Amino acid sequence: MRARNVVASAYIVVTAVLLLVCPENTVGQAPRSRGPLAIVVHGGAGTISRASMAAELEEQYRSKLTEALQAGYAILEKGGSSLNAVETAVAILEDSPLFNAGRGAVLTSEGQAELDASIMDGNTLKAGAVTVLRHVKNPIRLARLVMERSPHVMLAEEGAEQFAAANGIEMVDSSYFLTERRINELQRAKEREEKKKQRAAPDSGGGTVGCVALDCNGNLAAATSTGGKTNKYPGRIGDSPIIGAGNYADNHTCAISGTGDGEYFIRGVAAYDISALMLYGGMTLQEAADTVVMSKLKKLGGTGGVIGLDGKGNIAMPFNTEGMYRGFIDKDGRLEIQFYRD
Amino acid sequence: MRARNVVASAYIVVTAVLLLVCPENTVGQAPRSRGPLAIVVHGGAGTISRASMAAELEEQYRSKLTEALQAGYAILEKGGSSLNAVETAVAILEDSPLFNAGRGAVLTSEGQAELDASIMDGNTLKAGAVTVLRHVKNPIRLARLVMERSPHVMLAEEGAEQFAAANGIEMVDSSYFLTERRINELQRAKEREEKKKQRAAPDSGGGTVGCVALDCNGNLAAATSTGGKTNKYPGRIGDSPIIGAGNYADNHTCAISGTGDGEYFIRGVAAYDISALMLYGGMTLQEAADTVVMSKLKKLGGTGGVIGLDGKGNIAMPFNTEGMYRGFIDKDGRLEIQFYRD
């Protein structure tokens, strides 16, 4: 009787260890996931119509979103963490000039890129966020470091870049972010402002990027990165680096990454609101995400969308704009990229 | 029949106008509030014990909290808005060196004050927030301006101070914030760090200030202001300027201002969580505030407290620390100041 208990205990310990390491360390064996795997990315919501989109550009977006999804999914398949998957996927999108994050960030009224990002671990509710960065190549990697190597959740501007430099994060000259497309966008925004003879509200930048993922241990994670809005005031902080507004993850409910009018996402505490509607209101992920994006945000006056993932691998991607760059690899391994409403 | 309708319509219009202006414009008449009025302030949570508190210091705290409450309440009594009341009360606490906000702010690891504040209007869900300020005398006044005169919700550091200067906000030399008490606190924190031969987690600053109020129109508002944590990293953003974390207001539920371990308030989306537990979970303010402060935050590892007010004038002030500087004037006009648990 006693021996049987010892065997049973040993079995439990071994199982627990396997549960923690997942298939990552089973060298030479085919990875075996115990829970469903899934990953979802977005590349921003806004005016994206089939009519106006050139086939070549469509192909560029499709290809880059696919690359990010596959890189993240490869990590999940090897038993890696959802945190690693979302960081990797978002860093790939940051390196592309197609999106309003990292390299392709929009510019402030002073003609400079100021970058925001955040990451959250749904298992521990730990989070890292960075804002008003001007020299960090991959803000999402710095957000991860703030989470893991600082006693803080959120660092801004000069202090954040000091911490980045001290921790070996890749820094770039601010000219790295000055792409022709964004310089032209700012120029057009300023011309519209001049015509109206008053300071206009900054353009919605569009093109914020984000990723949510579910790993084989059932852990959810969310990551979001952005350049904010074209012609924004220097020092403006949007929803992307605000835990609960543009980014949130909790294993008990969902992982969420948002894109759109940041000010409304902040006022509506949009990402956490989806989680709260699931936790306290008994809604499914789809119901909760629809309620926040299609009803509550819209009522406030905010446009945008979110990607969401729950612990069973269910996916929701509502948006109240014309389109949203988005894609997923779902729990059945099916990859899909979508741009438009239909 | 038709004439009667016109009279009725005129009556409705007049009533509507009176409802909007409240008794503020009824010159020479005693103010008459139609709804209950209430105001609550806090001056931080932490190690506050009866045994260690000198009678003279206790009197200083009591006197300043009373002054802030009475100034805010006077505005409410005249039919002024809860937004004006919370801004006024918090500005008074910011001007006192007793609290960790404005003048008495704690210092970063580099020996500088970096101030955070936010304000939210429960009627419109509009909000303003400012962070990492080094030269703004009253951060709460700048937060109000960001809400009302910028297209953004949140501004940081240099950009925020440019906006402040352009809008006639009172600026001070950074030496204004260098009080002897905070210089000594930083010195002691660095000595403890030196002994441990490693970078310690920043001290809880304590002494964050906040105010929530309910005006005669049934509008709730919340305001919070802080210097953050002693020996914090430069650029660290805590929960006080994060809408949903350290500050939140919605007429449908409550107004909340928090104080404590900011990182945990951010990760728990603490202020909005109280609102969500009321809205979706059917809890009272007291139940929701207790759940978040005494259970959810504690489980995460966070210490602190909140002040909360609902639309009926009910007050909750839970804290999981030894004490919290707090006080209120309730719907019956009763003023009370409390420091300790008993």
Integer angstrom CA distances of residue B201 from B182, B189, B233: 17, 10, 10
The confidence score (pLDDT) of residue A6 equals 45
Smallest Cβ–Cβ distance between A157 and the set B150, B156, B267 belongs to: B156
Smallest Cβ–Cβ distance between B267 and the set A153, A279, A281 belongs to: A153
Is B243 close to A269, i.e. CB distance below 8 A? yes
Is B266 close to A163, i.e. CB distance below 8 A? no
Kindly state whether B274 is in contact with chain A, defined as any CB-CB distance less than 8 angstroms: no
Tell me the two tokens of residue A107. Answer: 């510019």
Amino acid identity, position A183: I
Angle formed by the axes of helices A270-279 and B270-279, to 10°? Answer: 40
- Tens of pLDDT, residues B11-30: 444 444 444 556 644 444 44
Percent of chain B with pLDDT over 70: 88
The confidence score (pLDDT) of residue A243 equals 98
CB distance A269 to A280 below 8 Å: no
The parts of chain A modelled with pLDDT lower than 70 are: 1-33, 198-201, 203-205
The confidence score (pLDDT) of residue A203 equals 67
Kindly state whether B127 is in contact with chain A, defined as any CB-CB distance less than 8 angstroms: yes
Kindly state whether B131 is in contact with chain A, defined as any CB-CB distance less than 8 angstroms: yes
Smallest Cβ–Cβ distance between A233 and the set B125, B163, B238 belongs to: B163
Confidence of residue B337 (pLDDT cuts 50, 70, 90): very high
Is A235 close to B267, i.e. CB distance below 8 A? no
The confidence score (pLDDT) of residue A53 equals 80
| Chain A residues inside the 8 Å CB shell of B159 | 108, 132, 233-236
Is B208 one of the catalytic residues? yes
Q: What is the separation, in whole angstroms, between the first and last Cα of chain B?
A: 63
Instruction: Give the span between the Cα atoms of B342 and B340, in whole angstroms.
Output: 6
Phi and psi torsions of B163, nearest 5°: -60, -40
The confidence score (pLDDT) of residue B34 equals 76
Instruction: Give the span between the Cα atoms of B300 and B93, in whole angstroms.
Output: 30
Buried b (16+ CB within 10 A) or exposed e, B218-253: bbbbbbbbbbbbbbbbbbbbbbbbbbbbbbbbbbeb
Which of B:144-173 have CB within 8 Å of A?
Answer: 150-160, 162-163
Mean pLDDT, range B94-113, rounded to an integer: 97
| Chain A residues inside the 8 Å CB shell of B235 | 155-160, 162-163
How much is the mean pLDDT over chain B?
91
Strand partners, A160: none
Smallest Cβ–Cβ distance between A201 and the set B151, B267, B273 belongs to: B151
The confidence score (pLDDT) of residue A22 equals 63
The confidence score (pLDDT) of residue A46 equals 85
Nearest Cα residue in chain B from A109: B159
The confidence score (pLDDT) of residue A52 equals 78
The confidence score (pLDDT) of residue A25 equals 42
Is A235 close to B125, i.e. CB distance below 8 A? no
Instruction: Report the complex ipTM.
Output: 0.91
Which of B:71-90 have CB within 8 Å of A?
Answer: none
Q: Can you give the pTM of this predicted structure?
A: 0.91
- Tens of pLDDT, residues B193-241: 888 876 666 766 579 999 999 999 999 999 999 999 999 999 999 999 9
**Is the pLDDT confidence value at B32 over 70?**
no
**Is the pLDDT confidence value at B5 over 80?**
no
In the set A131, A208, A259, A321, the catalytic residue is A208
Of B7 and B130, the structure prediction assigns the larger pLDDT to: B130
The confidence score (pLDDT) of residue A202 equals 74
CB distance B93 to B99 below 8 Å: yes
Angle formed by the axes of helices B82-94 and B139-149, to 10°? Answer: 150
Kindly state whether B294 is in contact with chain A, defined as any CB-CB distance less than 8 angstroms: no
Is B156 close to A244, i.e. CB distance below 8 A? no
Please tell me what DSSP assigns to residue A122: T
- Tens of pLDDT, residues B55-64: 899 999 999 9
Instruction: Give the span between the Cα atoms of B253 and B266, in whole angstroms.
Output: 20
Nearest Cα residue in chain A from B160: A235
Q: Which of B215, B241, B243 is nearest to B123 (CA)?
A: B215
Nearest Cα residue in chain A from B241: A242
B229 phi-psi bin (left φ>0, alpha ψ -120 to 50, beta other)? beta
Length of chain A: 342
Instruction: Give the span between the Cα atoms of B121 and B123, in whole angstroms.
Output: 5
| Chain B residues inside the 8 Å CB shell of A156 | 131-132, 156-157, 235-237
Q: How far is B111 from chain A (nearest CA, A)?
A: 13
- Per DSSP bridges, beta strands A38-46 and A209-214 are antiparallel
Is B234 close to A159, i.e. CB distance below 8 A? yes
Is A163 close to B263, i.e. CB distance below 8 A? no
Q: How far is B180 from chain A (nearest CA, A)?
A: 24
Is A125 close to B153, i.e. CB distance below 8 A? no
Amino acid identity, position B14: V
Kindly state whether A127 is in contact with chain B, defined as any CB-CB distance less than 8 angstroms: yes
Smallest Cβ–Cβ distance between B266 and the set A127, A280, A281 belongs to: A127
Smallest Cβ–Cβ distance between B155 and the set A236, A245, A276 belongs to: A236
Q: How far is A279 from chain B (nearest CA, A)?
A: 9
